[in-house]
Amino acid sequence: MNILVVDDELDVRALFEQRFRREIRGGQLRFAFAHSGEEALDYLHQHASEVVLILSDINMPGMSGLELLGRIRQEYPAPPPPAPPQVMMLTAYADEDSRRQALELGASDFLTKPVDFVALKQKLLQLAANDDAPS
Amino acid sequence: MALPPDTIRIRSRLSDNDISIVRNDSNSATISVDTTKSAYKFGPNASTIGKQVASANTGVVVMVLLSIWLVRGVSRFVNLKDRFPGWNRFYFRFWMLGAVYYLALLGFRVMRPEADDFYVLLVLLATAAVLLKVRDYRPARTLLLGFLPLTVFAIIEMFMFVFLPNTVRFYKDGFQSAEGFSWLWLFVFIFIARSHKKQAEKERLEREAAALEKQRIEAQNAALEQMVAERTASLTRQTEELRETLEELRITQAQLIQSEKMASLGELTAGIAHEIQNPLNFVTNFADVSTELLHELEEEQQRPTRDLGLETELLTDLRQNLTKITHHGQRAASIVRGMLEHSRASSGERAPTNLNQLADEYLRLAYHGLRAKNKSFNATLTTFFDPDLKSVDVVPQDLGRVLLNLFTNAFYAVQKRKELGEPGYTPTVEVSTLHRASGAVEIRVRDNGTGIPAAVRQKIFQPFFTTKPAGEGTGLGLSLSYDIITKGHNGTLSLQTEEGQGTEFIIELPG
């Protein structure tokens, strides 16, 4: 399963790569990284059908995570193939307003920082299992 | 006991002239009545002799009466009553002595022609004594001088009468002219004394007038001095009030500056929390991951066939993680330090400072501070940091405040422009540093916000000028920034702006 992680913090890449070392080595999860909303959109345009899940920060300079979410929902509206990627939001500002806004925009989940990697791993592996099952 | 005026005839022994004196005086009348009565006391046998004695001593009565007149005149002339009241009382009652003397003459049937002269001498001596007593008074001295020949003459005459009666008769003409001269002398001196008295009176009046004038001037001076004192007191009070007001203003100013600092800090609280939270998350995450890596490494070492490549990779990651933990720990520490420095009163001490790092730090703080307040806000942050920029000696917390202020303003401007709903508008805030060939350092903070209208441009560095709604800005930010850059660092703070296009602030610091 291909996952695109969008965060302006560069060290997120190192962290994810180490946290999911086994899964990456086992080929269960594949990660790509973007440091801004704009970069994420570029990546999606190039690898449209590959990305299944997007993990995005909300607070980023330039295009915010919520804006990115809106754009993705706009560009990939329909269920027919290729299936639209799921978007999970990750934010340090875990207020009710942001959560509601994110879910309204079509986020599939809303996680708060600091990230509980054990829970995240479970979710991701579950999704990966579901994703891999049909193929 | 009023009696009709009577005429007394006296024969002067020396001149043989008759002097007629008309008196209408109760005192003299009393005396003459008394005299008459006394004369009758001697009874029928002695009546002829008594009449002779009384007639012989009529001169004494006349002299007593005259002496009363003289005493009054002299006493009034030298104002003896006020000068020596005791003497005046005695002098005034001198006629009593005369009355006793006359009664004594009658009683002892004395018929001496010089009896009245003796009384006159007594009167003259008493008068001389009185005048001598008041000799400090100039007219009195003059008068004394006037009486002197008459007195001396009276003494000599008395001496002659007693011891050389024949010589008197012989030198009758000489005595007569001497007496005339003495009288003339007396009258002249009375005249002079009167003029002296007038002069003295005039002088006294002048002195009194001068004293009065002096008193008036003194009173005026006192009044003036009191006015001056009052005015001085009021001025002193006003000065004191002004000084107090100034002191209060100074304190208020200091408080305003501090509250401006704290206000900008308050705006940043959320940004700071976010900025600290992020590195702390990394610290915990990398620490956790490192623990996992160590487990993995241990497991790997337990295996019979060890994958050395994997072990090396794990070790490399571990080292990298530790570096990252240190890095993020320092990042959090630097933010906390920055926050403390910002809130602390400026030490005013310059320290070599990496301006790139300082600018970056405050750009993030400002951005996240605004984000925390307005979640829908977003802006592109661009940085162009000159890698050749050396450390510059600045007061870091002061310069930080300037940068924070410029960033906050820039974000405010782009936010305002974004609210206008222009299609395709991307809010952008850019900070760049440049080390000039001249050695000067330049920091530019540029935004593509609303720009500053020309009318406002002149006022933006004035204290308390703000375009923000009440309660959102103190109006001190740019004013303080200007002071910090120009007065604190000998630099310049200038701006380029175009309405509707954006603004660029340029800080120039001497190298």
pLDDT confidence of residue B374: 73
Average pLDDT over residues B371-389: 82
Tell if the CB–CB gap between B293 and A19 is shorter than 8 Å. Answer: no
> Pick from B277, B289, B381: which is nearest to A15 by CB?
B289
Domain borders along chain B are 6-170, 346-509
pLDDT confidence of residue B470: 65
pLDDT confidence of residue B82: 87
List, in sequence order, the alpha helices (H) in B420-498: 454-457, 477-483, 489
Which A residues in the span 30-89 are in contact with B, Cβ-Cβ below 8 Å? 59, 61-64, 67
> Pick from B284, B288, B380: which is nearest to A61 by CB?
B380
Closest chain B residue to A15 measured between Cα atoms? B286
Distance CA A5, CA A32 (A): 6
Average pLDDT over residues B209-233: 94
What the block records as the tokens of B440 is 């000067």
CA dihedral over B53, B57, B61, B67, signed as positive or negative: negative
DSSP designation for B487: I
Average pLDDT over residues B435-463: 89
Tell if the CB–CB gap between A92 and B320 is shorter than 8 Å. Answer: no
pLDDT confidence of residue B362: 86
pLDDT higher at B247 or B254: B247
- Is it the case that residue B292 has pLDDT exceeding 70? yes
Give the model's confidence band at B345: pLDDT under 50 very low, under 70 low, under 90 confident, else very high: low
pLDDT confidence of residue B50: 74
Distance CA A94, CA A96 (A): 7
- Is it the case that residue B14 has pLDDT exceeding 90? no
Tell if the CB–CB gap between A114 and B281 is shorter than 8 Å. Answer: yes
What the block records as the tokens of B460 is 């933006």
In the structure, how many helices (H) and strands (E) does chain B have? 16, 9
For residues B400 and B359, is the Cβ–Cβ distance under 8 A?
no
Between A82-91, B339-348, B355-364, the lowest mean confidence (pLDDT) is in B339-348
Average pLDDT over residues B219-240: 94
- What pLDDT, in 10s, does the model give residues B197-220? 888 888 889 999 999 999 999 999
pLDDT higher at B333 or B166: B333
The label of the residue with tokens 């020596």 reads B84
B242 contacts: CB under 8 Å, gap ≥ 6: none
Q: Does A26 contact B at CB distance below 8 Å?
A: no
- ipTM, two decimals, is 0.83
For residues B415 and B472, is the Cβ–Cβ distance under 8 A?
no
DSSP designation for B225: H
- What pLDDT, in 10s, does the model give residues B120-148? 888 888 888 988 888 888 888 888 888 88
pLDDT higher at B391 or B338: B391
- Is it the case that residue A132 has pLDDT exceeding 70? no
- Is it the case that residue B271 has pLDDT exceeding 80? no
* Helix, strand, coil percentages for chain A (3-state, nearest 5): 45, 20, 35
- Is it the case that residue B234 has pLDDT exceeding 60? yes
pLDDT higher at B429 or A134: B429
Task: Count CA atoms within 13 Å of residue A45 on its CB side.
Answer: 8
B499 contacts: CB under 8 Å, gap ≥ 6: B450, B451, B452, B453, B454
Closest chain A residue to B373 measured between Cα atoms? A93
What the block records as the tokens of B476 is 């001190």
Nearest CA to CA, how far is B280 from chain A (Å)? 9
pLDDT confidence of residue A81: 54
Residue B232, Cβ density class (10 Å: 0-12 exposed, 13-18 middle, ≥19 buried): exposed
Average pLDDT over residues B269-296: 84
Give the closest residue to A94 by CA, choosing from B380, B372, B364, B276.
Answer: B372
| Chain B environment of A67 (Cβ under 8 Å) | 378
- What pLDDT, in 10s, does the model give residues B478-497? 888 898 899 889 999 999 99
All structural domains of chain A: 2-132 (3.40.50.2300)
Average pLDDT over residues A60-71: 82
- What CATH code is assigned to B346-509? 3.30.565.10
Strand, coil or helix: what is B104? Answer: helix
Tell if the CB–CB gap between B324 and A14 is shorter than 8 Å. Answer: yes
Q: What is the mean pLDDT of chain B?
A: 82
- Is it the case that residue B322 has pLDDT exceeding 90? yes
- What pLDDT, in 10s, does the model give residues B147-165? 888 888 888 888 887 887 7
- Is it the case that residue B225 has pLDDT exceeding 90? yes
Distance CA A132, CA A108 (A): 19
Give the model's confidence band at B431: pLDDT under 50 very low, under 70 low, under 90 confident, else very high: very high
Give the closest residue to B120 by CA, choosing from B70, B180, B53, B175.
Answer: B70
Count contacts between A and B (CB, < 8 Å). Answer: 62
